[in-house]
Structures are given as structure tokens and as C-alpha cells.
Structure 1
Amino acid sequence: MGVLYHSTRSKSEPVTASQAILKGLSEDGGLFVPDHIPALDRSLRELSEMDYRQTAYEVMKLFLTDFTEEELKSCIERAYDSKFDTDVIAPLAEAGGAYYLELFHGATIAFKDMALSILPHLMITAAKKNQADNEIVILTATSGDTGKAALAGFADVEGTKIIVFYPKDGVSPVQEKQMVTQKGANTLVVGIHGNFDDAQTGVKKLFADRELAAELAEKGYQFSSANSINIGRLVPQICYYVYAYAALLREGRIQDGEQINVVVPTGNFGNILAAFYAKNMGLPVGKLICASNENKVLYDFFRTGTYDRNREFVLTASPSMDILISSNLERLIYRIAGNDADRNGELMAALTGNGKYEISAQMRSELEDFYGNYASEEETAAEIERLYRECGYVIDTHTAVASVVYGKYRQETEDDAKTVIASTASPFKFARSVMKAIDEKYDAKTDFELIDELSSLAGVKVPKAVEEIRTAPVLHNRQCQVGEMKDTVREFLNL
């Protein structure tokens, strides 16, 4: 049976996978969700004999049911190629009693590459399938990693333009340099004076602007999204959890059917939602451990049942998690509300209006798969130092948040199930924070001196993505206020 997609906010007509990918966001502001989560149709033993590309096909074919086998395999082959610095694509590293799933071996050294390497191919294929004549304008807000990964994926892709908004003072120096040096005649990068939530809210408003949509259509354009609100971002993320389990089985680390736990450093909730979907496909996953930094809105939600963004926004050493409005949580809320679009719409309206909502006791009972906790800045730095001293393994700040929370979970529960920690970025992307955590003396050095020191310390070659930006010229220096985002888009597109 094919999978169709419908909005979390209305009972509008369902759409196919390709239509959902092309739209990005429903006209009513809701997110597209599958009408059911399909079950894995290959045994775990069969999956353990497959490489990453084969595994990705076996997962994605179940969700993207209007793509032909040839179309989907072509997208996968073009995505997971020499852009990754290892044929394994997503290797597992054992350290400190856990398995770190390294999701940073792609072109921009962050986990976003795992989905954004394939999204352009899915989107162009979807446009052809639906006879879409308009040029696709990818409109994206980023907390640091999505932006560069999307830019790298869509740069100079025929029939597309891409506009990325990022918080000017809310990303790491390497993240910013990666974005502002991006080549491509179809790219625009803009630093906004505000935080990520401001950028994300601004982008959503542009999607919902009917007047702007009419202007776009008149000029032959249509918006789509590369954020994790696009189901074409979420589905590829499911694959690496299935692959991680299969790899552990293949290597004899677990028995067939043995449950594992998964820990995910979480801001926008998409990455851990993908693990939840994998569990609901039949992957033997026990607890889904949601790790937050000091912007602990998700921790408080799991603890109290109230989601409240009315709090101080904290700039941390894990900036991709500096988020107070976790967009993908809406997909989970819709599900635990019994797939009730009206109820979900009420809760999202409360979030927009009052900045908070509270779920019912019945809905809370549906969250038993999840455990939430958070790591302070001090705990995060101490974990980087500890893991390096004890194991010689260097992790980035976001992965360190997850590692701290895993330690807290073990201490609270004494659960000794094998555990996979999503390692979401290369330590080279956050070299200053990482090296300062290992030893304060490093803080006096320049960013690229630190990168070279980190390479020597970790015994790992400096990634190509970092080498490329050492001397790359700045090509994007546009900045704007949040209220100027619409005018910025109109100017770029000559509306």
C-alpha cells in the first residue's frame, strides 16, 4: 500500500511523497506527515548484509512510494558518492561504553549532509514527476549546519535558487565562513539581526504570504524548503538509524532483535523524530534519549508536559541546538493527539499566540519511549575533555551534550542496553570550543591554528571542507533586520 501525506493542521486532501517534497510546507502552515508508518519489509539479518546505499533504498522506498525504483536508486547513488570521505558513509566508533554514529563525513562535515545530499535530487525528480514548470526557490533558515549543507546541495542546480537566512552572531566562525564563501550564481546568504527562532519564524511567514506567492507565480517561481520541515529531509534521516543497527548486528556487537537505545542532541527535533519513525517501522529501539543544551525547552516539555518558549535565549558552544521553537515536535504532537489536526492546530496556535501550550495526561502517556535531559556548558566542556583523556576520542560540542545526557540517563536508570549516540558534527567545525575544553591554553590561538592543533591532537586529517575555506573569498556579506526578510527575497528574485 502506498504512503500518502497530509497536513498536521487540516483535513485537506492528501498528497503524494513527491508533491509533499516539492511543497515543503502545507498551505495551511502544517507539516506533511505520512498517513501510516510502513513496516520494514527486510529482516534485520538481510539489512546487516547491505551497504549504506542499499539500506537507504530499502528504507526510503517504503515512504517515497510514488518514486520508481530507478528514480530512487539514481537519487541515492548521486547523493552518497565521493562527497563523503568514507565509503561506509556513516561509521560507528566505540568509545567510553557507547557507539558514536559519525554522521559528519559529508561535504560540510555535519549530519545535515546525510539528508541534504539527496534532497536536491529528490526535489528535481519530484518536479519532473509533477510537471512543475516553475523554478524552485529554496527558502531556508539555519542555526548553522542546514544552511551550508543546503547551499552545497543546491548550488548551480538547474531550475533552482536558494536563499539562506542565518543569525549573524549565532553560529561558529567556521559555520559562518562556510556559508559566506559559498559559490553558485543561484545562491544568496543573509545574516539576520536576531536569533535562529527569529529566522525560522520569518521564513514560515514568507511561506504563508499569499500575496508573495502570487508574485512568485507570476514570475515563474515557487517556494520550497530544505529545512527539516520538508519530509524529504526527514525520510533520509531514518536510514542511518537502521544502518547503525544493521552494522552492530553485522559486527556481532548485538544479537538479532536485541534492543538498543539511541541518544540524539536535539534542537529542532527532526533528528530524534527520525529515530522514532525507525522504531515504529520495527527497528528494535528501546529508549529515545533527547539531549538538550541550556536552551532546555524540550527537557522541560518531557518533564512537565508544557512546552514554553517564554524564556531567555542562551547562546551556547553548541549553536545548532540554540533553538526555542522545535518545529518538528509538531509531527510528534499530531501523532500523540490521535492524528487530530484540529487539536494540533489549537496547540500550535497557542504556541504562536502565548508562546506555550500544555498537552493532556493522555498525550503524555504516549511519550514513554522518550527520556529528556540537558547538559550545562560546563558539563559539555568537561565531557569533551574526559572522553579525550580516557579514550583519545575527540567529539564536538553537540555530540558532547548527548554524551553528558547519556551518562545522566545511565546513572538514573542503570539501563545497560547497547547505545548509539548520534555524533552530529565534526569537532573541526567547532575547533575553538573543543580545544578550549581540552586545555584552556589553546584559546589564545587563531581559529585555523586551532584546527591544525586539533588535527595533530586527534590524529585526524583536516577535512576538505575546512581546508577549502582557509583562503576562500567572502562572496556573501548581506545582512538585514527580521522585518526586511521579505524585501530581501523580492530583491534577489527581481520581483
Structure 2
Amino acid sequence: MTLVYQSTRNEKNKVTASQAILQGLATDGGLFTPVDFPDVNLDFDRLKSASYQEVAKLVLSAFLDDFTEEELDFCIDNAYDAKFDTPVIAPLVKLGDQYHLELFHGSTIAFKDMALSILPYLLTTAAKKQGVDDKIVILTATSGDTGKAAMAGFADVAGTEIIVFYPNGGVSKIQELQMTTQVGDNTHVVAIEGNFDDAQTKVKEMFNDESLRQKLAAKGAQFSSANSMNIGRLVPQIVYYIYAYAQLLNDGQLEKGEKINITVPTGNFGNILAAYYAKQIGLPVHKLICASNENNVLTDFFATGFYDKKRRFKVTSSPSMDILVSSNLERLIFHLVGNDSAKTRELMTALVDKGEYQLSAVNPDILDFFEAGFATEGETSAEIKRLYDDLSYIEDPHTAVASAVYRAYRDRTGDQTKTIIASTASPYKFPRVAVEAVKGKDSGDDFAAVQELHDLSGVAIPKAVKGLETAPIRHRKVVEVAAMQKAVESYLDV
């Protein structure tokens, strides 16, 4: 029986995987979510020697079950190829008593490559399956990494257009240049005078604007999403958690069936939700540890069940986590309230209207899998320095948040369960932060810091950074939040 994806806000809005990927966001404002999870044979005796591509085939076949084997082979083979700088795709590095799952070996040196390398193929394949000839317009907000990874994936892909909004001054210089120098006739990048939450809220409004949808249809176009609101972005992220466990078994670091903890630096909640979905299909998980920076709305939520976005937005050294409205949390809320779409819609409406909601009568078995904590700016910097001093390894600030939160959790609880840290970006994306943490002084310039980072770490400067300083700027548009839709209409001539 084909797996059903249902909107979190309307129990009657049910679609197949390919339909969910094509739409991106449900027209009722909800997120397409599995109501039941597929049966997946996680035979780790076999998987421990499997390639990343083979693990991807197993997982995607189960979750995207209206794709044929040939279609999935095409998508996987084109996604996980030489654009990654290691055939392992997602290597594990043992650092003391924790294991860093390096998810930054793709073409834009961030974990978003793991899913955004395959999403363009899934999306264009889904369009063909559904007989859709419309141009697919990828409309997305980014807190720094999704934008570049999405544009790299969709650049000059026939039948697509991509428009990315990012917070002006709210990303690192490297992140910004990666976006503003992006080539491709179908790529558009716009800075907004606001933060990520402003951009994401406006993007959601455009998705739900019926008159705009009709204007697009008249031009033979339709919106889809490249961020983790799209189930086609989320499902491929399940793969690397299964793969990491298999690697630990293969390396003799685990006994078969032994449970692990997974700590994830968390902003929009998609990456840790993928870990929860991995657990739902049989990955032996003890705890999922949700790590936040000083925008610690999720830490408070898991402690109290109260979600309150009415707080000061902080610009931190881990900008991809500078988020106060975690869109993917809606999927977990849906599961926590027993897959009740009416209740989920009520809570999400309260978040928009009042800026808050209170959970009650939730499934404790789900909630008990999650722990949460946050790291201050000082703790983040100290963790980067600690790991460098102890092991000559340099983390990016997001990974350092996760590492600091995990250490605090372990010290508080005494939990000695072996733990994977999701290492979500290369330190070369945030060279000034990394170098300042190690040396105690600011380099003053991102590209001087790149060279210093190379000298400190001995890690080769990635292709994604080489030449970036002198690459021509192609995207210079800056708009107020209220003018975002006007920019979209201008690009699409509607």
C-alpha cells in the first residue's frame, strides 16, 4: 500500500510522496507528514558494509514508495557523486568520547548538501510522474546555508526557477558571498531588511496566497519549496543517521542493537526531526538532544511545553540557528498530539495570532526521547578552543553549540551512551569565528581568517571557498520585508 502523507492541518488533505514533494507546502499552510511509518528492514549485518548510496536506496524506497526503482537510482546516482570530496559522503570522526558525523563534504560545505543534492532530481522526477508541465518556482527563505545549497542544486535545471531570501547582515561573509556570486540564469537572491523569521513568514504567506497562485498558474508556473518544509528535503536526511550507525558497527565502536544518542544543532528543527524519523523506522536511539544557541526557544519548549516566540531575536556566531519560529516543529507537534490535525492547526494559529501556544495532553513516549539545552556565545567559543587544544580539531560554531550542549547534558545526567554529534558545517564557512575562538583575537577579515584556519588545522581549503573573494557579485537586490512579494512578481513577470 502506498505511503500517505497528510497535511498537519487538514486530515482530508492526503497525498503521495511525489505529490508532497511537488507541492512543497500544503495549500492549507500545513506540512505534509507521514501518519504511519514504513516497515524498513534495517539489517545492520548487511548495512555495515553498504555504501552511502545503498543506504539511501533502502530508506528512500520505503518513504518515497511511489517512485520506481529506476527513478530512485537515477536520483541517487546523480546526487551522491563526485561533488562530494570523499566517497564516504558522510564520514564519522571519533573525538574523545563523542563521534562527529561530518555532513559538510558536499559542494557548499554544509549539511544542506546532503538533501539538496538530490531534491532537484526528486522534484523534476515528481513533476513528470504527475504530468506537470508547469515551471517549478522554488521559493525559499534561508538562514545562511539552504540558499546556496538549493541554488547550487537547481542552477540551470530546465523547467525550474529559484528565488532565495536571506537576512541582510544576518549571515557570515562567506555564506553571503556563496549566495550573491551564484551563477545560473534561473537563480535569484534577495537580501531582506529583517531576520530569518521575517523572511520565512513572508514566504509562507506567498505559498498560501490564492491570488498569487492563480497568477502563477496563468503563466504556467507553480511554487515549491527547497527548505525542510518539503518532505523531499527531510526524508534524505534520515539516511545519514542510519549510515552513521552502520559505520560505528563496522568500526567495532558499537554492539549490534546498542542504543546511541544523537545531538543536533537545531534551528528550523528539520535535521533533528529526521533523526526522530530514523528512530521510528528502527534506529536504536536512546536520546535525541536538541542543541540551541542563545535563541533558545526550543530549550524552553522542551522544558515546559510552552512555545513563546515573543522574545528578543539575537544575532549570534551560529547564524543558521538564529530562528525563533522552528517550522518543522509543527510535524513533531502533530505526532505529539496523536496526529490530530485540528489540534495542530489550533496551536499553529495561536502562534501566529498570539506568538505563543501551550501543549497539553501529549504523547509522553515521544516527548521522553528528547532532551534540550543551549550554549551561550562564550560557551560556544570555549568549546571550539577546547576541542582544538585537546585534539587539534576545529569545529564550526553550530557544531560547537551541539558539542557544548552534549557535554553539559552528560555532566548533568551521567549518561554515558555513545553519542553522535551532527557536524553541520565546515569551519571554513565561519573562519573568523573559528580562528578567534582558537587564538583569542579577531582576524578582521574573512579571507585572512581562511588562511589562518588552514595554518591552524592543516585541512585543505575547500573548493567552495577558493576564488570566492574575487568572484563577481551577481545578486545585489535588497528589499524591505513588505516588498518581498513584489520582487517575486517582478522576477516571474506576473
Compare 357-366 and 324-333 and name the one that shifted more: 357-366
Post-superposition offset of 1:465? 0.2
Which residue identity does 2:470 align to in structure 1?
A: T
Q: Is the 8 A contact 2:443 2:449 kept in 1?
A: no
Q: Is the 8 A contact 1:180 1:189 kept in 2?
A: yes
Which residue identity does 1:491 align to in structure 2?
A: S
Give the match's secondary structure for 2:33. strand
Q: How does 1:331-346 map to 2 (within 5 A)?
A: 331-346=331-346
Give the match's secondary structure for 2:240. helix
Post-superposition offset of 1:366? 3.4
Take 1:444 and 1:393, find their aligned partners in 2: how far apart are those partners? 19
Take 1:299 and 1:123, find their aligned partners in 2: how far apart are those partners? 34
Match of 1:136 in 2: 136
Residues 13-37 of structure 1, C-alpha deviations (whole Å, 9 max, x = no match) = 4111000000001110000001311
Q: Is the 8 A contact 1:39 1:280 kept in 2?
A: no
Q: Is the 8 A contact 1:9 1:344 kept in 2?
A: yes
Give the match's secondary structure for 1:178. helix
Take 1:363 and 1:283, find their aligned partners in 2: how far apart are those partners? 20
Post-superposition offset of 1:39? 2.9
Residues 413-441 of structure 1, C-alpha deviations (whole Å, 9 max, x = no match) = 11111110000000000000110001123
Report the CA distance shift for 1:361/1:42 in structure 2 as closer, same or farther (over 3 A).
closer
Give the match's secondary structure for 1:14. strand
Report the CA distance shift for 1:305/1:467 in structure 2 as closer, same or farther (over 3 A).
same
Report whether the alignment pairs 1:264 with 2:233: no
Report whether the alignment pairs 1:476 with 2:470: no
Q: Is the 8 A contact 2:338 2:362 kept in 1?
A: no
Match of 1:16 in 2: 16
Match of 1:2 in 2: 2
Give the match's secondary structure for 2:229. coil
Which residue identity does 1:378 align to in structure 2?
A: G
Match of 2:305 in 1: 305
Residues 308-364 of structure 1, C-alpha deviations (whole Å, 9 max, x = no match) = 000000000000000000000000000111110000000000000000000014345
Give the match's secondary structure for 2:303. helix
Match of 2:47 in 1: 47
Match of 2:446 in 1: 447
Match of 1:416 in 2: 416
Q: How does 1:201-220 map to 2 (within 5 A)?
A: 201-220=201-220
Residues 360-417 of structure 1, C-alpha deviations (whole Å, 9 max, x = no match) = 1434563000000000000000000000000011100000000000001101111111
Compare 351-360 and 362-371 and name the one that shifted more: 362-371
Which residue identity does 2:249 align to in structure 1?
A: L
Residues 210-247 of structure 1, C-alpha deviations (whole Å, 9 max, x = no match) = 00000000011100000100000000000000000000
Q: Is the 8 A contact 2:337 2:361 kept in 1?
A: no
Compare 42-51 and 478-487 and name the one that shifted more: 42-51
Post-superposition offset of 1:445? 4.0
Q: Which runs of 4+ in 1 moved over 4 A?
A: none
Q: Is the 8 A contact 1:31 1:331 kept in 2?
A: yes
Take 1:405 and 1:58, find their aligned partners in 2: how far apart are those partners? 32
Match of 1:465 in 2: 464
Report whether the alignment pairs 1:487 with 2:481: no
Give the match's secondary structure for 2:11. coil
Match of 1:225 in 2: 225
Q: Is the 8 A contact 1:432 1:450 kept in 2?
A: yes
Q: Is the 8 A contact 1:98 1:421 kept in 2?
A: yes
Long gaps (5+) in structure 2:
none
Give the match's secondary structure for 1:82. coil
Match of 2:38 in 1: 38
Q: How does 1:377-392 map to 2 (within 5 A)?
A: 377-392=377-392
Post-superposition offset of 1:127? 0.4
Compare 357-366 and 289-298 and name the one that shifted more: 357-366
Report whether the alignment pairs 1:97 with 2:87: no
Residues 27-66 of structure 1, C-alpha deviations (whole Å, 9 max, x = no match) = 1000000131113214111111201000011011000000
Report the CA distance shift for 1:13/1:327 in structure 2 as closer, same or farther (over 3 A).
closer
Which residue identity does 1:223 align to in structure 2?
A: F
Which residue identity does 2:462 align to in structure 1?
A: P
With the length of structure 2 as denominator, give the TM-score of the two structures: 0.99
Post-superposition offset of 1:120? 0.1
Post-superposition offset of 1:161? 0.2
Take 1:290 and 1:331, find their aligned partners in 2: how far apart are those partners? 15
Compare 220-229 and 357-366 and name the one that shifted more: 357-366
Residues 150-181 of structure 1, C-alpha deviations (whole Å, 9 max, x = no match) = 00000000000000000011000000000000
Match of 2:124 in 1: 124
Match of 1:111 in 2: 111
Post-superposition offset of 1:461? 0.4
Long gaps (5+) in structure 1:
none
Q: How does 1:182-201 map to 2 (within 5 A)?
A: 182-201=182-201
Take 1:474 and 1:484, find their aligned partners in 2: how far apart are those partners? 22
Q: Is the 8 A contact 1:305 1:364 kept in 2?
A: no
Report whether the alignment pairs 1:393 with 2:393: yes
Which residue identity does 1:379 align to in structure 2?
A: E
Take 2:93 and 2:167, find their aligned partners in 1: how far apart are those partners? 32
Which residue identity does 2:477 align to in structure 1?
A: R
* Aligned-residue CA RMSD (Å): 0.9
Match of 1:314 in 2: 314
Q: Is the 8 A contact 1:96 1:387 kept in 2?
A: no
Match of 2:275 in 1: 275
Which residue identity does 1:351 align to in structure 2?
A: L
Match of 2:455 in 1: 456
With the length of structure 1 as denominator, give the TM-score of the two structures: 0.99
Q: Is the 8 A contact 1:3 1:16 kept in 2?
A: yes
